[in-house]
Amino acid sequence: MIRIYRQLLIAQIQAAAQYRIQAVLWMLFSIIRPVIFLAAWTAVSNAQGGSVGGYTTSDFAAYYIALTIVGQLTTAWNSFEFEFEVRQGRLSPKLLRPLHPLHYAVVENLIWKATTFLPLLVVCALVAVTFHVEWHGEWWHLVLFVPSILLAAALAFMIAWVIATATFWLQRINTINTLLQRTGFMFAGQIAPLALVPTWMQVISYSLPFAYFLAVPAEILRGGVTLERGLLYLVGQAVWLGLAVVAFRFAWRAGLREFSAVGA
C-alpha cells in the first residue's frame, strides 16, 4: 500500500504541477469569506466597545484566521468532481483498476493542500497584521490541534464522498451540494464563532457533524477551549468520522449496483 501511494504521489505531483496558478486561485475562495466575516465582526465589536459575548476584536481576528487555515486543510471537492466523472463516463475505467477510486482522491487532495499551504500562510500573516491579531493559547492547544485537524480533514473528505455517492441515484447533485454548503455556512462556524450563535443553532452544530470539521479545530487552534472541552470535541470528531466511513461503505456498495454509465 505504501508503495502504491508513493507511485500515486509522484504521478499526481506531476499532474498538479501543470496547474499551479489555478491551485493558488482556488485558495482565494477559501480565504475571502473568512476575511469578509472577520471585517464584519470587527465592525460589530467596535460598535459594542471592543468586545462581543467574550470575544474581543483581536479574538475575532484569531478565530477567523484559524478558520481560514482549517478551511484550507479540510477542503474536499469530491462531491463536485465525482458527479462530473459519472456523467462523463470516466468512472468506469477507474472502477476496473484494483485500487478504490477513493485513494486517487486522497492523494490529489493531500497534494493540493500541501502546495497551497505556504501561500495561504503568507496571506494569513497579512490579514493578521491588518486586524491586530492576538493569540492567547497554551502549548497543549497546538498539540490538541494536530489530531483535531487530521480528524476534521478526514471527516470533511468522507462527507464529500458520502454526498458524491448520491450521484449513483440522482445523476445531478448540484442541489444537494448547495444544501450542504449553505447548512455548513450556517452551522459550521463561518458566520460567527459558535459561542455567539443562538442556542438552537449550537445544538444543531454540535449534534450534527457541522461543528466538527470547521469550528472545532478553529476554536482549538485559537486557544479558545479548556482541555476537557477540547478532548470532548475530539471524541465527537472521531464518532462522526466513524459514522461517515460506515455510511460511505454502505452507500458505495449499494450505489455501485445502481451504476449504469456508458460501458458499465
Partner 1 sequence: MRYLRMFRAFASTEFQFEMEYRGNFYLSILEMFLVIGTSIAAVLVMFQHTTTMNGWTLPQMILLLGVYYLIQGGVNLVFSPSFERVMEHVRAGTLDFHLLKPVNTQFLVSTRHLRVVRAADLVLGLVVVIVGLLQVGEQIGVAQSLLFALSLFFGVMLVYSLLLGLVTLSFWFVRVENLLAIFWAFTEAGRFPVDVYPLWLRVSLSTIVPIGIAVTAPANAIAGRMDWIGVVLLGAGTVVAVGVASALWRRGLRSYTGASA
Q: Which residues of this chain interact with partner 1, rule CB under 8 A?
A: 21-22, 25-26, 28-29, 32-33, 35-37, 39-44, 46-48, 52-53, 130-131, 172, 174-175, 178-179, 182-183, 185-186, 191-192, 196-198, 201
Q: Which three cell numbers stand for residue 86?
A: 459519472
Q: Toward partner 1, which CB reaches closer, 139 or 200?
A: 200
Q: Toward partner 1, which CB reaches closer, 28 or 99?
A: 28
Q: Are 184 and 190 in contact (CB under 8 A)?
A: yes
Q: Toward partner 1, which CB reaches closer, 191 or 247?
A: 191
Burial class (CB in 10 A: 0-12, 13-18, 19+), 131: buried
Q: Toward partner 1, which CB reaches closer, 8 or 196?
A: 196
Kindly state the smallest distance separating residue 167's Cβ from partner 1, in Å.
15
Kindly state the smallest distance separating residue 132's Cβ from partner 1, in Å.
10
Q: In three state form, how does the secondary structure of 74-131 look?
A: CCCCHHHHHHHHHHHCCHHHHHHCCCCHHHHHHHHHHHHHHHHHHHHHHHHHHHHHHC
Q: Toward partner 1, which CB reaches closer, 153 or 194?
A: 194
Kindly state the smallest distance separating residue 174's Cβ from partner 1, in Å.
7
Kindly state the smallest distance separating residue 216's Cβ from partner 1, in Å.
19
Kindly state the smallest distance separating residue 250's Cβ from partner 1, in Å.
26
CA dihedral 23, 173, 157, 230 (to 10 degrees): 110
Q: Are 55 and 63 in contact (CB under 8 A)?
A: yes
Q: Toward partner 1, which CB reaches closer, 7 or 130?
A: 130
Task: From residue 150, give the alpha-carbon distance in Å to each of 15, 58, 120, 127, 146.
Answer: 25, 26, 18, 24, 6
CA dihedral 18, 15, 84, 210 (to 10 degrees): -100
Q: Toward partner 1, which CB reaches closer, 189 or 236?
A: 189
Kindly state the smallest distance separating residue 123's Cβ from partner 1, in Å.
12
Return the closest-CA partner of residue 47 out of 37, 57, 60: 57
Tell me which residue has cell 455567539: 196
Kindly state the smallest distance separating residue 230's Cβ from partner 1, in Å.
24
